[in-house]
Chains A and B, each alone.
Chain A
Amino acid sequence: MSRHGPVVLDAGQRHPVRLALNGRTVSGEAEPRMLLHDFLRHVLGATGTHVGCEHGICGACTVQIDGVPARACLTFAVQADGAEIRTVEGLAPAADRLSVLQEAFRTHHGLQCGFCTPGILMTLDALLRERPNCDEAEVRDALSGHLCRCTGYAPIVKAALAAAEALRETDHA
């Protein structure tokens, strides 16, 4: 829904979509039926967000819309008009550095094929921000919206808890 009241979109037409992607304003055109993940990946070229099911179960497509994790496969591109979207490409502080959470994944072997990873990172990034003191039960609960076929989850849980601890330490320092 647009932020400026109801707008009638024409099914056969492309409509301009403008959004802030990882802090940069970008725009493109989308038919009303185009899903947000297709818009991100194939219109904007941000291929870091992955698609595993297109029916809301696997979590691979998770992005943050206005700071809240959401399924890009259950969101139309036109719904994101005017929103702030954060994707995996926006997590690292610099091109040659990883964030604390990303680094923890590397240290603890929290990924194998890495296909599920972008979505999981976006969920955990929000969790660590909202619940800096989260425990294993909360981490597992947050992860329950994601499917990973490679890792068996244990290394992901370890990585998340290690990242939470590291972030708490830097906050105190």
Chain B
Amino acid sequence: MALDLHARNGDEAGWVGQSIPRVEDAALLAGRGRFIDDLGTPPGTLHAAILRSPHAHASIERIDTAAARAMPGVAAVLTGAELQGLTSSLVVGVKAPVECWPMAIDRVRYVGEPVAVAVAADRYLAEDALDAIEVRYAPLPAVVAPLDALADGAPLLHEGFPGNLASDRSFSYGDPDAAFASAPHRIGVAVEYPRSACTPIETYGVVAEYDPALDAYDVLANFQGPFSIHAVMARALRVPGNRLRLRTPPDSGGSFGVKQGVFPYVVVIAVAARLAGCPVKWIEDRMEHLAGAVSATNRSTRLQAAVAEDGRILALDWDQIEDCGAHLRAPEPATLYRMHGNMTGAYAIRNVRIRNRVVVTNKLPTGLNRGFGGPQIYFPLERLISRIAATLGLDPLDVVRRNLVPADAFPYRTATGALLDSGDYAAALEAALRDGGHAGLLARRAQARAEGRLYGIGYAAVVEPSVSNMGYITTVLTAAERRRAGPKNGAQATATIALDPGGTVSVHVASVPQGQGHRTVLGQVVADVFGLRPADIRVITEMDTAKDAWSIASGNYSSRFAPAVAGAAWIAATRLRERLARVAAVQLNARPDELVFAAGKVFSPGNPGNAVAFSRLAATGHWAPATLPEDVEQPLRETAFWTPPQLGAPNDADEVNSSLCHGFIFDFCGAEVDRDTGAIRLDRYVTMHDCGRILHPGMVAGQVTGGFAHALGAALLEEQSYGPDGSLLTGTLADYLIPTAMEVPEPVILHYETPSPFTPLGAKGVGEGNTMSTPVCIANAVADALGLVDIQLPLLPSRLSEALHGAEPSSPRREARPPPAAPGERALFGSGHAEVDAAPEQLWAMLLDPDRLARVVPGAHNVQRMDETRFKAEVTLGIGPVRGRYRAEIALSDLDAPRSVTLSGSVDGVLGFGRGRGRLRLEPVGPTRTALTYDYEAAVGGKVASIGGRLLDGAARVIIGQFFASLAAQASGRRPSLWRRLLRLFRRRA
């Protein structure tokens, strides 16, 4: 039902399809954007800060908030227990006796989990209050890798998920058993797909208010949808849907799916506002974002193929273990099911077996991220194609060609139920090779190899789904469970067009853009319908659930804007135009269907002099309703709801059309690996897209280059990485590496257009495809360059070094002296010596005097003596960007006066925790001079541990140096001004 946009307005060129400047840009470029933190707040608004768990897994033994509550400016402190009193659990993504709270209740299950919220007059005071909240944790063993989570005896996260297994479903389509039994070859890959996150540059923000008279919440949040989650939030807040008014700001600083994950914080801040009795605002900081926002899933996959001699794939056998982190928050495990219809990619494979398991681990819960499930399946699938070619001695392109869905098969129903809407995959592939310079790339590889360089070529063919079926996630349920729950399906899009008394046009859609220029494109679409200029159209895209037309599928995800939302706007505008044409027909004495809307006028082509101005016609319904023909509906305002009939619920055979549109992408690239450093240089990257009809070429190019940059990061740099104990190792942007302008080359973008027959404008989604195709395309090139069979992301030089230089011999020092840390904690150890102008006895006396000792511990204040050899203190330490206050306990033991003593201690604070011990020996080297030698070992965890190891080692040395310097100064009675000189005495011997 793709319709010709311009047939009836007589303007063949039209605005759609042109790269006109964006209406969004002038304000954004001048610093007049209206992002959530730029908007004014109601008078009396307070500010929230969130205390987060430094532990991956621990029970909370005690939370003492009294001191925090007593601090100046502090209005309220919210703990999990109080939250539980005012809310219900968030919805868990599967049927199981498990709860899911947006704050820790009595146990923390990942580093960064919210533990308490302080509400104060400003953010600085709220953060001060966090320092005063005392939480006593009893650490529990943590589990991090999905396979470990399933192992016998693994630490258990939730009693209701026995064995940490939240879901286990098996599917069979066609006859995979027969295909595997008879196939000449069985070829497989094993992939541990890593975690990454799209990290928009603007973080989360929420401003919430509670009206006790109405028992209603009013929330402003940079939430991106889907608005099905509105129901989840209202349920959690224990109010009916119409008592949760959710609004979004006009501008949002990127999302890529991630801003779906603000929803648990909406609940938390809404409750904080209720407790504080006034509006509360919270803007997430970057370290909170990296630890506590949302990440994509990591997935452990074993994929096997039954393969014919010529490379044709007869059957696939998927075994996927999805790691959703510590809580299975709805809509997860959607990442695992979004691709269910297209598990065969761009290929015509009729026999498929799938086992899908979902596990929980002590990591950040997962949610929407650009590509959502695509990167996790296309990496194994396209690695498999490359392995089939290598194993059978075929050209990988021939393996692709032999398996592609043939052009005459569209619309093509896949084995697992997707209806691939349109395409000519083979023709697009050949066009890409021809126009993308494939022959030249082969020559470059041959030449590079002749010169002894490591150069490889990679390929990837993927089907990019867009416009998600709201029912695909129910594939996680059995058919019987689905029958009980009732059918879920569709992808409602809405748009409203309004004509005002001045005869001008406004458009509202519930699309919540995050920088994709929706306002510009809607201006083009609607201007074409009415024969106006885009500048004449005013477009509003922010949402207000209390006033706007919306539905569960509203929002900005699954690349649904161009195919669905722009189409709904076109339908609404077209309906209004039909009404206006009938009004004009009376005024102009013409037939409605012959009227043309062009250049701001309405006229019949045979008599252009007899015209009515559009604005005058559009105002008629306001000023002279009595003149409207009787059978014409009021031409004032039109809201269109549009859902494609192709998106039904999963059937009893578990077949599901998981998405409406399926774009096609074929990528190839040349990559060179530096023999010495392992650095990867992308020599050329070509990406061919069939995204249906292109509404705005500039924006499509922007989506592709932006998606490509995300994918490049995922391929080469990014991993949200956890130590084996669950410590977050990538807690700052200095550790979580995002590609910069130095790393991202410009891809060559090609198009092959086959309009979708299922969308009003023929468009398909385009924003996510490269996150699916590019990581594996680059990996295939690197595997080709190095002759690797097994290759895992991210392709860090350290990962490739074994292939380049052989296995690294283990460090003799480490063997001689195993670090004291639990597996994965950051271990620090070292030793050193110093000489001090004081006799050993003098120093010894100091060490036995806890008060004096306390004075030499760097950053110590508020010292309390517990007994002869133990004391408690508060310590403020800054390490790199992480400066914080800690509670310390220090004890002296193994006393051998005046020769040696052991100091042991532990620290615990918002930013992390640590424990360690050091042995100190004193030897006289003169009557009033002592040589001090020391060695120490320590382990740190929490945010502090996420700081780069070198920085941490350096900081530890400085702090220990300060300790001995002040010890020397205290003992010798010298003034601190000499510390600097004494510091120079210290030498590192580690």
Chain A residues with a Cβ under 8 A of chain B: 31, 33-34, 41, 46-58, 60, 87-89, 91-92, 95, 98, 102, 105-107, 109, 111-118, 121, 139-141, 143-157
Task: Determine if B30 and A33 form an interchain contact, defined as CB atoms under 8 angstroms apart.
Answer: no
Looking at A31, A105, A106, A157, the one whose CB has the most chain B CB atoms below 10 A away is A106
Give A156's nearest chain B residue, CB to CB.
B741
Q: Of B32, B200, B286, which is within 8 A of A54 by CB?
A: B286
With A52-B286, A143-B741: A115-B31 Cβ-Cβ less than 8 Å? no
B883: shortest Cβ distance to chain A, in Å?
11
Q: Of A52, A143, A144, A151, which is within 8 A of B702 by CB?
A: A151
Q: Of A41, A98, A141, A155, which is within 8 A of B26 by CB?
A: A98
Give A88's nearest chain B residue, CB to CB.
B31
With A115-B253, A152-B708: A141-B30 Cβ-Cβ less than 8 Å? no
B251: shortest Cβ distance to chain A, in Å?
7
Task: Determine if A150 and B254 form an interchain contact, defined as CB atoms under 8 angstroms apart.
Answer: yes
Q: Which residues in B have their C-beta under 8 angstroms from that of A112?
A: 254, 515-517, 702, 706
Q: Of B19, B287, B515, B699, which is within 8 A of A114 by CB?
A: B515
The docked-state distance in angstroms from the alpha carbon of A58 to that of B203 is: 12
A101: shortest Cβ distance to chain B, in Å?
9
Interface CB pairs A-B, < 8 A, 10: A31-B124, A55-B734, A57-B733, A91-B29, A107-B21, A114-B28, A115-B515, A150-B254, A151-B706, A155-B705
The docked-state distance in angstroms from the alpha carbon of A157 to that of B702 is: 13
Q: Which residues in B have their C-beta under 8 angstroms from that of A51?
A: 37
A129: shortest Cβ distance to chain B, in Å?
18
Task: Determine if A148 and B705 form an interchain contact, defined as CB atoms under 8 angstroms apart.
Answer: no
Task: Determine if B285 and A105 form an interchain contact, defined as CB atoms under 8 angstroms apart.
Answer: no
The docked-state distance in angstroms from the alpha carbon of A119 to that of B10 is: 45
Cβ of B607 within 8 Å of any chain A Cβ, yes or no, is: no
The docked-state distance in angstroms from the alpha carbon of A118 to that of B837 is: 56
Task: Determine if B31 and A89 form an interchain contact, defined as CB atoms under 8 angstroms apart.
Answer: yes
The docked-state distance in angstroms from the alpha carbon of A54 to that of B287 is: 9
The 5 residue pairs across chains A and B that have the minimum distance between CB atoms? A48-B31, A113-B515, A115-B253, A114-B28, A152-B705
The docked-state distance in angstroms from the alpha carbon of A56 to that of B514 is: 24
The docked-state distance in angstroms from the alpha carbon of A48 to that of B27 is: 10
Task: Determine if A109 and B201 form an interchain contact, defined as CB atoms under 8 angstroms apart.
Answer: no
Q: Which residues in A have their C-beta under 8 angstroms from that of B287?
A: 55
Give B707's nearest chain A residue, CB to CB.
A152
Q: Which residues in B have their C-beta under 8 angstroms from that of A49?
A: 31
Cβ of B512 within 8 Å of any chain A Cβ, yes or no, is: no
With A113-B254, A114-B28, A117-B29: A154-B35 Cβ-Cβ less than 8 Å? no
Cβ of B38 within 8 Å of any chain A Cβ, yes or no, is: yes
On chain B, which size bracket covers the interface? Answer: 35 or more
Q: Of A55, A92, A121, A154, which is within 8 A of B744 by CB?
A: A154
The docked-state distance in angstroms from the alpha carbon of A52 to that of B854 is: 38
Q: Which residues in A have their C-beta under 8 angstroms from that of B37?
A: 41, 47, 51
With A102-B30, A140-B741, A152-B744: A114-B734 Cβ-Cβ less than 8 Å? no
Q: Of A46, A87, A147, which is within 8 A of B733 by CB?
A: A147
Q: Of A102, A107, A113, which is within 8 A of B514 by CB?
A: A113
Chain B residues with a Cβ under 8 A of chain A: 19, 21-22, 24-26, 28-33, 35, 37-38, 124, 198-203, 251-254, 256, 285-287, 514-517, 698-699, 701-702, 705-710, 732-734, 738, 740-742, 744, 746, 881
B881: shortest Cβ distance to chain A, in Å?
4
B36: shortest Cβ distance to chain A, in Å?
11
Q: Which residues in A have their C-beta under 8 angstroms from that of B517?
A: 112
Q: Which residues in A have their C-beta under 8 angstroms from that of B252?
A: 113
Task: Determine if A117 and B28 form an interchain contact, defined as CB atoms under 8 angstroms apart.
Answer: yes
With A56-B881, A112-B702, A114-B515: A153-B31 Cβ-Cβ less than 8 Å? no
Q: Which residues in A have their C-beta under 8 angstroms from that of B285?
A: 54
The docked-state distance in angstroms from the alpha carbon of A146 to that of B740 is: 7
Number of residue pairs A-B, CB distance < 8 angstroms: 175
Q: Which residues in B have their C-beta under 8 angstroms from that of A148?
A: 201
Task: Determine if A113 and B251 form an interchain contact, defined as CB atoms under 8 angstroms apart.
Answer: yes
The docked-state distance in angstroms from the alpha carbon of A69 to that of B212 is: 48
Task: Determine if B29 and A149 form an interchain contact, defined as CB atoms under 8 angstroms apart.
Answer: no
A137: shortest Cβ distance to chain B, in Å?
10
Q: Which residues in B have their C-beta under 8 angstroms from that of A58?
A: 201, 286, 733
Q: Of B203, B286, B516, B742, which is within 8 A of A140 by CB?
A: B742
Q: Which residues in B have their C-beta under 8 angstroms from that of A34?
A: 124
The docked-state distance in angstroms from the alpha carbon of A113 to that of B200 is: 9
The docked-state distance in angstroms from the alpha carbon of A144 to that of B740 is: 5
Task: Determine if B30 and A92 form an interchain contact, defined as CB atoms under 8 angstroms apart.
Answer: yes
Give B21's nearest chain A residue, CB to CB.
A106
Task: Determine if B31 and A118 form an interchain contact, defined as CB atoms under 8 angstroms apart.
Answer: yes
Task: Determine if B201 and A155 form an interchain contact, defined as CB atoms under 8 angstroms apart.
Answer: no
Q: Of A95, A102, A147, which is within 8 A of B29 by CB?
A: A102
Q: Which residues in B have their C-beta under 8 angstroms from that of A50?
A: 35, 201-202, 253
Task: Determine if B30 and A91 form an interchain contact, defined as CB atoms under 8 angstroms apart.
Answer: yes
Q: Which residues in A have their C-beta under 8 angstroms from that of B32?
A: 48, 89
Task: Determine if A106 and B22 form an interchain contact, defined as CB atoms under 8 angstroms apart.
Answer: yes
Task: Determine if A89 and B200 form an interchain contact, defined as CB atoms under 8 angstroms apart.
Answer: no
Q: Which residues in A have their C-beta under 8 angstroms from that of B26?
A: 98, 106
The docked-state distance in angstroms from the alpha carbon of A54 to that of B30 is: 22
A17: shortest Cβ distance to chain B, in Å?
16
Task: Determine if B29 and A115 form an interchain contact, defined as CB atoms under 8 angstroms apart.
Answer: no
With A113-B514, A155-B705: A89-B30 Cβ-Cβ less than 8 Å? yes
Q: Which residues in A have their C-beta under 8 angstroms from that of B251?
A: 113-114
A69: shortest Cβ distance to chain B, in Å?
15
Give B770's nearest chain A residue, CB to CB.
A152
Task: Determine if B30 and A48 form an interchain contact, defined as CB atoms under 8 angstroms apart.
Answer: yes
The docked-state distance in angstroms from the alpha carbon of A88 to that of B746 is: 27
Q: Which residues in B have their C-beta under 8 angstroms from that of A41?
A: 37-38
A106: shortest Cβ distance to chain B, in Å?
4
Task: Determine if B740 and A149 form an interchain contact, defined as CB atoms under 8 angstroms apart.
Answer: no
With A112-B516, A154-B744: A147-B254 Cβ-Cβ less than 8 Å? no
Task: Determine if A55 and B30 form an interchain contact, defined as CB atoms under 8 angstroms apart.
Answer: no
Q: Of A31, A47, A116, A149, which is within 8 A of B198 by CB?
A: A149
Give B289's nearest chain A residue, CB to CB.
A53
The docked-state distance in angstroms from the alpha carbon of A41 to that of B732 is: 23
The docked-state distance in angstroms from the alpha carbon of A55 to that of B880 is: 9
Q: Which residues in A have their C-beta under 8 angstroms from that of B256?
A: 149
Task: Determine if A109 and B699 form an interchain contact, defined as CB atoms under 8 angstroms apart.
Answer: yes
Q: Which residues in A have their C-beta under 8 angstroms from that of B701?
A: 109, 155
The docked-state distance in angstroms from the alpha carbon of A91 to that of B21 is: 19
Task: Determine if B286 and A53 form an interchain contact, defined as CB atoms under 8 angstroms apart.
Answer: yes
Task: Determine if A111 and B741 form an interchain contact, defined as CB atoms under 8 angstroms apart.
Answer: no
Task: Determine if B29 and A106 form an interchain contact, defined as CB atoms under 8 angstroms apart.
Answer: yes
B746: shortest Cβ distance to chain A, in Å?
4
Give A33's nearest chain B residue, CB to CB.
B124
Q: Which residues in B have their C-beta under 8 angstroms from that of A87?
A: 31
Q: Which residues in B have their C-beta under 8 angstroms from that of A117?
A: 28-29
Task: Determine if A153 and B25 form an interchain contact, defined as CB atoms under 8 angstroms apart.
Answer: no
Task: Determine if B734 and A52 form an interchain contact, defined as CB atoms under 8 angstroms apart.
Answer: no
Q: Which residues in A have their C-beta under 8 angstroms from that of B202?
A: 50, 52, 113, 115
A146: shortest Cβ distance to chain B, in Å?
7
A109: shortest Cβ distance to chain B, in Å?
5
Task: Determine if A48 and B33 form an interchain contact, defined as CB atoms under 8 angstroms apart.
Answer: yes
Looking at B30, B198, B517, B740, the one whose CB has the most chain A CB atoms below 10 A away is B30
A64: shortest Cβ distance to chain B, in Å?
13
Task: Determine if B31 and A46 form an interchain contact, defined as CB atoms under 8 angstroms apart.
Answer: yes
A52-B201, A55-B732, A150-B254 are known; give 5 further A-B pairs, CB within 8 A: A58-B201, A60-B201, A95-B30, A140-B741, A144-B741
Q: Which residues in B have their C-beta under 8 angstroms from that of A89?
A: 30-32
Q: Which residues in B have their C-beta under 8 angstroms from that of A88?
A: 29-31
Q: Of A57, A92, A102, A146, which is within 8 A of B741 by CB?
A: A146
Task: Determine if A57 and B732 form an interchain contact, defined as CB atoms under 8 angstroms apart.
Answer: yes
A145: shortest Cβ distance to chain B, in Å?
8
A159: shortest Cβ distance to chain B, in Å?
10
The docked-state distance in angstroms from the alpha carbon of A55 to that of B741 is: 19
The docked-state distance in angstroms from the alpha carbon of A41 to that of B39 is: 11
Q: Of B124, B201, B732, B746, which is within 8 A of A149 by CB?
A: B201
B956: shortest Cβ distance to chain A, in Å?
20
